[in-house]
Amino acid sequence: METANLGILAGIIAIISFFATIFGGIYLSRREKLAMIERGMDPRSYKPQPAPYQNLKWGLLLVGAGLGLFLAFLLDRTVFAGANRYEDGENAAIYFALVAIFGGLGLVLSYRIEKKELYTNEKE
């Protein structure tokens, strides 16, 4: 296929995907409301339960990922500067590994804070 044909095909697929996503969202929303009516619930009075620690979780995840990126950058430029075997001079595995490690540590820290808060609230 020529490049122009691939561009047209990609545009058509993007438009179809966009409308399918909108249709799927509306369809699932209506199915949820019908299921609530079948169970005797009023969908208009339904309010989703708040997630009080959601901001803490996202904040610690992003701070951990940022620390991982920063540490990977420092390690790449200092410790592994002479060991680069790639033409672009970057060790991509270090970046992915440290972002995953520090992001996971942020989530573990969030879990520990939530658990501690719930435990102290139960004691009182």
Which pTM was predicted? 0.58
Measuring CA to CA, how many Å separate 57 from each of 1, 24, 53, 118?
Answer: 47, 29, 6, 15
Measuring CA to CA, how many Å separate 102 from each of 18, 23, 52, 65, 77?
Answer: 35, 38, 23, 6, 19
pLDDT score of 85: 59
Residues 59-99 pLDDT 10s: 999 999 999 999 988 888 888 776 655 555 567 888 899 99
Question: What ranges do the domains of the chain cover?
Answer: 1-47, 54-123
Residues 54-67 pLDDT 10s: 889 999 999 999 99
Are 73 and 23 spatial neighbours (Cβ–Cβ below 8 Å)? no
